[in-house]
Amino acid sequence: MTSLTERVREFAYGIGFDLVGFSSADPSPEHEQALQAWITAGYAGEMAYMARDPSRRANPKQILPQAKTIICLAINYYPGVHPKKDGRSGRISCYAWGRDYHRVLEERLDRLEEYLRKEADRPLKIKRYVDYGPILERAYANRAGLGFIGKNTMLITEEFGSWVFLAELITDLELEVDHSPTLGNGPASQCGSCSLCIDACPTGAIVAPFKLDARRCISYLTIEKKGEIPADLQPEMEDWIFGCDVCQQVCPFNQQTPIAKAQDFTTGAGPWLDIEEILAMDEVRFKARFRDTPLLRPKYRGLQRNVMIVAKKGSG
């Protein structure tokens, strides 16, 4: 008979996940130490939530004391090569071209959780996250064999490079864990001497291999940063008004990624926004235009701020 672990894996593939792996829920002290060092260095910027109880992020048993297994999931979101812009436009990171990925993945997690509860021979305790919970997603995805951590600090998978969204389902159900000796558990297992992402970063945010200073990262500046963006970084933002893909675009592992199967990630706000349209928007139109997309994250003022920077540079 097929094991429960394999049935769960096949079901997850069947509902649209592209990668599925199983990790133990044991703590990850080496990643906790790395996170603490990153916070201490000030690299988290204004993301105060990252500094709240780092030990919890590296120990799922502090989230769910009975936790035994983490089902680590990934889905390809790659929408294709950024097309050439038409007119005065601001560039959007690939992950935000379509629907809000949280909702897309949560819909699939609903079905996976329902399946688990149906297949188990007892009531289950489950916690699930899509990029918003206190768990080191990339660390556990690495442990589950989904990929390795690249020098740009992103999880890089064999099939889809780093163009993936991650999700986790933590449960007290004990499943067979995956081991991947070819990918390894160390962050440097595949990058070798390559430094393309470090060299290409417009703002020098990758300050060393596997170390990202979020305070300089265009994604952080255009989405997470409140208030004004430092004047010395504005000229380096190029035409990005929401996120940045440069370190992914140059990565050798990202050159053969197939287009995402889920149309949710390819239709929506799109790759470019017209600068004049955004500047003419009021807050009501902003919320209506970008409803159910990631572009609501920086709020009306944040997106207006980003667009004005690009408009002033005359490169939009």
Active-site residue, 292 included: no
Report the 10 Å Cβ neighbour count for 297: 16
Interaxial angle between packed helices 101-119 and 4-14, expressed in degrees from 0 to 180 and rounded to the nearest 10: 150
Contacts of 181 (CB under 8 A, 6+ apart): none
CA distances from 130 to 54, 101, 127, 169, 293 (A): 18, 9, 11, 9, 15
CB 248 within 8 A of CB 98: no
DSSP state of 74: E
Burial 41-76 (b: 16+ CB within 10 A, else e): eebbbeeeebeeebebbbbbeebbeebbbbbbbbbb
Give me the catalytic one of 131, 245, 282, 292: 131
Residues assigned a catalytic role: 131
